[in-house]
């Protein structure tokens, strides 16, 4: 069974170290807006939601890619072959979670688990992101998180929309007056 | 450029003009960033006798070189200006996430001068910067203002905002950000209000570069594991600042009932266990693995906090041994934009005036009703009582001849450590450049609370270290960080050697520069004083029952401090000391 990234919003403190280190590894500088994962912060409600790529069993991004540039490797990680990518952005529109984007170099980029040792997990002090072979309980948590899908908007908007669903569940009274 | 963005924004609110200026790189080796660099910019720009509310006063907002990197606790940034509350130069710093965002937008800092004709906000979206009409936000609290400003730019934008307290020029009004973080002390909020600046919203999608990313990450990992996440600092992760409620009560220097007692018998109601039971989540500033923020909820009242200062000064000091009430008071202060340290002192003073029969403010220790109402009254100046309390402890005490009851130095109300239980804190409060402050030197963990010689040296060392620490800027709660660690991270970040020695020398330089500024503003050794209460009234209970900090002892300690600093008996840096630091004499 392959290892997967799992996010636990209730544990996330909003420190953003995951996004800082991801961009450091992937872009060579600290540039969190181009990290391969993002944290939606709701400071007024004391809540944050880490948004991660679910490495979907049946990825929409893989299915819509006209160049067949998206594939799954042996570890079940969904990868972009940037040699084949033409920057069309179909994957970006198709992803229900806002977790694949096209960069300034006109190439799609997404989380690739850093080849098996995700840097974000090492930085996460509260343990809100883990990299494990999911047990039954964890598979259920992940499935529930994947149920919330955004059908429109740019990646920022999709992530925000989904994060607000988690916020509402975690902070019912306050979220109503947000 | 490595670490630095290399650019600052210059905003002239009178002319409505914004310019982008290269960072003064020639100042970096002596002043580094954040506090030090902001003081250098400020003193070049604003004559020391300037009226704080005049358009000629400047607000210098500055990040540190490590902001926006993985260096842990590096997201703090500061504002330097001349305070309307104290008349001194002051620095006020803040965590949250605004600092890195400003860096990512491409700016190390923002320098604001002038005054706008009508209420405006500053909007920064990477290279696009402009002043916008803020009339729709007039009178709004900080929470609502932040929501509106984020909606106008981006949900991921970061905001600095003032509430009605700042708009109404309450001199101890704060600036808020990320809801529950503040530039708390010195009245940054009033200075924003005086310039008709409702807030700043910033979205930055750029990055911060380091010389060698691999080396930098290794250094960060090494110091995070071996220094930050060690027993000395992990209290911040497990309990947060509420742990100090227990610590200071045990030491007998926990301000209670308007600084008349040193122990609050009911402190368990406000301590770490009580906060722990009310806690929903741990919260962190950007870049911080500790996550000292405790988001609490009781009966529909919630806040990130309360922090120790608030628990003590709006709790024990007002004998309000009710965590729910303190949470509500805290939330009101955070939203309306009032510093909880100042407000807690002032309300307790008003309670003391009422109960001693000297002036009836209808405020009594431990009574909940007017306790919350008065916060709104102060922020909105809606009642005679509110307008009186809005004067601050210094002017309030003067108005009602209550200087024997008040606890302030240079107008700045006392933080939550009684100097009668630790002489080092007395000296620290008296010699802080911004009036009574616990973030310049912090001596309560010294082995002997009353050893004048040792504590005077501790205060000098603490002030110098904190001056360079807040220039990086690192958080207070990385208690074990030192100049060796700072030099190591800067070396990897900049790609050139930086030494611990030059950093501590910079700390001393920054401290002396603020001293010179205050001297030129008219402050003298006579202003480095203790309040009468501390020198004359015996502490009422606990391990330090009966103690005072006698004037003769304080004067002896102050003279020793001046000598250790290379200042003369009037507290003026000598020519030799200034030459050593590369500073111009008075």
State whether B432 and B511 are in the same domain: yes
Say whether B179 and A20 touch across the interface (CB within 8 A): no
Inter-chain contacts counted by CB atoms under 8 A, chains A and B: 101
Last residue of a domain, one of B188, B203, B218: B203
Predicted confidence at residue B302, as pLDDT, reads 97
**Partner residue facing A43 (CB), from B68, B178, B302:** B178
Nearest CA to CA, how far is B3 from chain A (Å)? Answer: 10
- The helix or strand, by DSSP H or E, that contains position B246, with its residue range, turns out to be helix B243-251
Q: Which of B439, B441, B461, B468 is nearest to B64 (CA)?
A: B468
Q: Is residue B251 part of a domain?
A: yes
- Give which of B106, B125, B282, B287 to mutate to test A binding, by max A Cβ within 10 Å: B282
Judge whether B293 is closer than 8 Å to chain A, CB to CB: yes
Last residue of a domain, one of B383, B406, B429: B406
Say whether B281 and A10 touch across the interface (CB within 8 A): yes
pLDDT confidence tier of residue B309, bands split at 50, 70 and 90: very high
Q: Is residue B573 part of a domain?
A: yes
Q: Give the integer Cα–Cα distance in Å for B392 and B388.
A: 8
Q: The domain spanning residue B568 has which CATH number? A: 1.10.599.10
Q: The domain spanning residue B80 has which CATH number? A: 3.60.9.10
Q: Which residues of B touch A29 (CB under 8 A)?
A: 207-210, 213
State whether B398 and B339 are in the same domain: yes
User: B403-432 b/e with 16+ CB inside 10 Å = b?
Assistant: eebbbbbbbbbbbbbbbbbbbbbbbbbbbb
Would the pLDDT of B170 be above 90?
yes
* Residue B370: how many other CB atoms lie within 10 Å: 18
User: B252-265 b/e with 16+ CB inside 10 Å = b?
Assistant: bbbbbbbbbbbbbe
DSSP of B165-178: HHHTT-TTB-EEET
DSSP of A155-167: HHHHHHHHHHHHH
pTM here? 0.98
Which of A169-173, B223-227, B353-357 is predicted with the least confidence, judged by mean pLDDT? Answer: A169-173
Q: Which residues of A touch B208 (CB under 8 A)?
A: 29-31
DSSP of B307-329: -HHHIIIIIGGGT---HHHHHHH
CATH of A4-175 given 3.90.1200.10, 3.30.70.20, 3.30.565.10, 1.10.3720.10: 3.30.70.20
Q: Is residue B483 part of a domain?
A: no
State whether B145 and B264 are in the same domain: no
State whether B304 and B331 are in the same domain: yes
Say whether B237 and A125 touch across the interface (CB within 8 A): yes
Judge whether B237 is closer than 8 Å to chain A, CB to CB: yes
Q: Give the integer Cα–Cα distance in Å for B47 and B51.
A: 9
For chain B, what is the domain count? 3
Provide CB contacts within 8 A for B150, sequence distance 6+.
B157, B159, B201
In tens, the pLDDT along B82-96 reads 999 999 999 999 999
Provide CB contacts within 8 A for B468, sequence distance 6+.
B32, B36, B483, B486, B503, B504, B506, B507, B510
State whether B270 and B394 are in the same domain: yes
**Cα separations (Å) of B251 from A61, A65, B479, B554?**
62, 67, 20, 21
Q: Which of B118, B78, B115, B75 is nearest to B97 (CA)?
A: B75
State whether B531 and B571 are in the same domain: yes
Would the pLDDT of A90 be above 90?
yes
Q: Is residue B223 part of a domain?
A: no
Q: The domain spanning residue B278 has which CATH number? A: 1.10.569.10
State whether B109 and B165 are in the same domain: yes
What does the block give as tokens for B404? Answer: 């024997």
State whether B136 and B157 are in the same domain: yes
**Cα separations (Å) of B402 from B128, B153, B359?**
51, 48, 10
State whether B141 and B20 are in the same domain: yes
CB A44 within 8 A of CB B146: yes
Where do we find the tokens 């008219």? B522
Q: Which residues of B touch A173 (CB under 8 A)?
A: 300
The mean of the pLDDT values for chain A is 95
Say whether B287 and A17 touch across the interface (CB within 8 A): yes
Judge whether B156 is closer than 8 Å to chain A, CB to CB: yes
In tens, the pLDDT along B291-300 reads 999 999 999 9
Q: Is residue B188 part of a domain?
A: yes
Predicted confidence at residue A177, as pLDDT, reads 45
Q: Is residue B167 part of a domain?
A: yes
Closest-approach residue (CA) in chain A for B213: A28
Q: Is residue B484 part of a domain?
A: no
Last residue of a domain, one of B187, B203, B219: B203
**Partner residue facing B68 (CB), from A30, A125, A126:** A30
Where do we find the tokens 């806690």? B279
Predicted confidence at residue B585, as pLDDT, reads 82
Predicted confidence at residue A91, as pLDDT, reads 98
Q: Give the integer Cα–Cα distance in Å for B409 and A65.
A: 68
In tens, the pLDDT along B394-453 reads 999 999 999 999 999 999 999 999 999 999 999 999 999 999 999 999 999 999 999 999
Say whether B286 and A16 touch across the interface (CB within 8 A): yes
In tens, the pLDDT along B506-521 reads 999 999 999 999 999 9
Would the pLDDT of A174 be above 70?
no
Say whether B155 and A123 touch across the interface (CB within 8 A): no
**Partner residue facing A20 (CB), from B178, B237, B287:** B287
State whether B64 and B123 are in the same domain: yes
Q: What percent of chain B has pLDDT over 70?
A: 100
In tens, the pLDDT along B239-292 reads 999 999 999 999 999 999 999 999 999 999 999 999 999 999 999 999 999 999
The mean of the pLDDT values for chain B is 98
Average pLDDT over residues B103-123: 98
pLDDT confidence tier of residue B464, bands split at 50, 70 and 90: very high
Q: Give the integer Cα–Cα distance in Å for B152 and B149.
A: 5
Closest-approach residue (CA) in chain A for B208: A30
Burial of B514 (0-12, 13-18, 19+ CB in 10 A): buried
Provide CB contacts within 8 A for B429, sequence distance 6+.
B409, B414, B415, B419, B435, B436, B437, B438, B530
Q: Which residues of B touch A40 (CB under 8 A)?
A: 155
State whether B426 and B391 are in the same domain: no
Predicted confidence at residue A176, as pLDDT, reads 44
**Cα separations (Å) of A149 from A19, A160, B312?**
22, 11, 46
Say whether B283 and A43 touch across the interface (CB within 8 A): yes
Predicted confidence at residue A151, as pLDDT, reads 85
Q: What percent of chain A has pLDDT over 90?
A: 94
Q: Give the integer Cα–Cα distance in Å for B335 and B175.
A: 10
Residue B44: strand, helix, or coil: helix
Predicted confidence at residue B114, as pLDDT, reads 98
Q: Which residues of A touch B210 (CB under 8 A)?
A: 29-30
**Partner residue facing A24 (CB), from B97, B217, B293:** B217
Range of the domain at B168: 7-203
pLDDT confidence tier of residue B204, bands split at 50, 70 and 90: very high
State whether B385 and B428 are in the same domain: no
Predicted confidence at residue A57, as pLDDT, reads 95
Q: Is residue B322 part of a domain?
A: yes
């Amino acid at each position: 069974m392959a290892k997967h990234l799992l996010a636990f919003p209730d544990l996330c403190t909003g420190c953003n170290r995951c996004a800082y280190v991801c961009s450091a590894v992937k872009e060579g500088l600290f540039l969190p807006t181009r990290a391969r994962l993002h944290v939606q912060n709701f400071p007024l409600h004391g809540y944050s939601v880490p948004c991660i790529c679910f490495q979907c069993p049946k990825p929409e991004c893989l299915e819509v890619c006209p160049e067949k540039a998206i594939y799954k490797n042996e570890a079940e990680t969904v990868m972009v072959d940037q040699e084949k990518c033409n920057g069309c952005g179909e994957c970006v529109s198709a992803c229900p979670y806002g977790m694949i984007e096209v960069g300034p170099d006109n190439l799609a980029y997404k989380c690739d688990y850093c080849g098996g040792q995700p840097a974000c997990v090492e930085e996460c002090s509260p343990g809100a992101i883990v990299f494990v072979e999911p047990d039954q309980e964890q598979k259920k948590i992940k499935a529930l998180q994947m149920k919330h899908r955004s059908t429109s908007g740019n990646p920022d908007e999709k992530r925000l929309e989904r994060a607000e669903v988690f916020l509402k569940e975690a902070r019912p009274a306050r979220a109503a007056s947000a | 450029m490595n670490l630095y963005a290399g650019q600052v924004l210059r905003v002239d609110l009178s002319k409505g003009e914004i310019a982008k200026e290269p960072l003064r790189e020639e100042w970096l080796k002596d002043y580094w960033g954040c506090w030090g660099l902001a003081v250098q910019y400020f003193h070049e720009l604003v004559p020391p006798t300037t009226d704080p509310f005049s358009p000629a006063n400047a607000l210098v907002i500055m990040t540190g070189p490590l902001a926006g990197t993985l260096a842990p606790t590096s997201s703090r940034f500061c504002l330097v200006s001349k305070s309307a509350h104290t008349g001194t130069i002051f620095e006020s710093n803040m965590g949250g996430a605004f600092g890195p965002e400003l860096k990512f937008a491409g700016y190390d800092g923002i320098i604001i001068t002038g005054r706008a004709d009508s209420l405006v906000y500053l909007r920064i979206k990477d290279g696009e910067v402009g002043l916008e009409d803020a009339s729709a936000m007039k009178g709004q609290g900080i929470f609502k203002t932040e929501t509106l400003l984020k909606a106008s730019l981006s949900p991921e934008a970061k905001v600095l905002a003032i509430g009605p307290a700042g708009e109404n020029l309450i001199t101890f009004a704060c600036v808020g950000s990320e809801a529950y973080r503040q530039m708390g002390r010195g009245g940054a909020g009033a200075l924003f209000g005086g310039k008709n600046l409702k807030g700043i919203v910033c979205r930055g999608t750029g990055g911060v570069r380091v010389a060698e990313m691999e080396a930098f990450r290794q250094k960060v990992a090494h110091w995070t594991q071996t220094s930050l996440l060690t027993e000395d600092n992990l209290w911040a992760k497990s309990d947060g600042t509420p742990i100090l409620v227990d610590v200071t009560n045990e030491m007998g220097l926990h301000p209670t009932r308007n600084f008349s007692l040193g122990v609050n018998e009911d402190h368990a109601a406000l301590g770490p266990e009580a906060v722990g039971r009310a806690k929903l989540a741990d919260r962190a500033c950007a870049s911080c693995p500790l996550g000292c923020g405790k988001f609490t909820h009781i009966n529909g009242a919630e806040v990130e906090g309360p922090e120790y200062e608030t628990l003590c000064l709006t709790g024990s000091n007002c004998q309000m041994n009710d965590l729910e009430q303190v949470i509500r008071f805290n939330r009101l202060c955070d939203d309306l934009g009032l510093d909880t340290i100042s407000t807690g002192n002032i309300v307790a003073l008003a309670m003391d005036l009422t109960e001693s029969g000297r002036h009836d403010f209808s405020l009594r220790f431990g009574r909940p009703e007017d306790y919350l109402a008065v916060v709104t009254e102060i922020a909105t100046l809606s009642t005679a009582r509110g307008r009186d309390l809005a004067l601050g402890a210094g002017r309030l005490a003067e108005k009602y001849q209550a200087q024997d009851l008040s606890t302030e130095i240079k107008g700045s109300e006392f933080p939550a450590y009684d100097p009668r239980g630790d002489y080092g804190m007395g000296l620290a409060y008296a010699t802080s450049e911004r009036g009574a402050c616990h973030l310049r030197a912090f001596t309560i963990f010294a082995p002997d609370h009353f050893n004048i010689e040792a504590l005077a040296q501790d205060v000098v060392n603490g002030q110098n270290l904190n001056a360079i620490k807040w220039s990086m800027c690192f958080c207070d709660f990385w208690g074990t960080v030192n100049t060796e660690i700072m030099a190591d991270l800067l070396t990897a970040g900049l790609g050139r050697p930086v030494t611990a020695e030059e950093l501590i020398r910079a700390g001393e330089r920054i401290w002396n520069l603020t001293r010179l500024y205050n001297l030129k503003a008219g402050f003298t050794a006579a202003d480095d004083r203790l309040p009468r209460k501390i020198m004359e009234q015996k502490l009422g209970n606990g391990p330090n029952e009966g103690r005072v900090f006698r004037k003769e002892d304080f004067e002896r300690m102050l003279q020793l401090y001046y000598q250790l600093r290379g200042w003369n008996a009037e507290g003026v840096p000598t020519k030799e000391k200034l030459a050593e630091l590369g500073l111009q004499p008075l």
